[in-house]
Amino acid sequence: MKASTVFYKVYAHLLEQGKQAINDNGKCLYRGPDGTKCAVGALIRDREYDPEMENSGGVGGLKREGLLPERLKPHYELLKDLQDEHDENIDRRGDSKWFKTKSLHERMRRVAESHGIKFVEMELV
């Protein structure tokens, strides 16, 4: 899988989902309530998912604990950056848990550029 494929699959997923994959305590999850998935969770196939992933402490933990699928390992640095965008790109005013779309585009542009991926802003249809 190419880095650009990883990037745009996650970007499209985050736009479409429109919110974080989190539990009631605000902890980010690979698999969350109502079928939500975090940035990296969107890339993890159902047969690759292990509930232990939720306790790994992020992508670094997945790699350390041998839970990161082999096919994603070449994109480790990109995955870390995408995960950070999922975890940080949230509107924390009031009780809102929805992504700030404009900020998401800007952040994803920076991730793409830092990984040599040509950025094309996506729109939710």
Residue with tokens 């950056």: 81
pLDDT at 1: 87
pLDDT band at 121 (very low <50, low <70, confident <90, very high): very high
Mean pLDDT, residues 112-125: 90
pLDDT at 117: 97
Share of the chain above pLDDT 90, in %: 56
How far is Cα 94 from Cα 61, in angstroms, rounded to an integer?
31
82-95: per-residue pLDDT in tens? Answer: 988 777 665 554 44
Please give the model's pTM, rounded to 2 decimal places. 0.86
Give the phi and the psi of residue 28 in degrees, each rounded to 5.
-70, 140
Average pLDDT of the chain to the nearest whole number: 86
**DSSP alpha helix (H) spans, 22-124:** 59-64, 76-88, 101-114
Domain spans, the chain = 3-114
> Can you read off the two tokens belonging to residue 33?
């309530």
Closest CA to 7 of 125, 123, 116, 124: 116
Residue predicted with more confidence, 105 or 115: 115
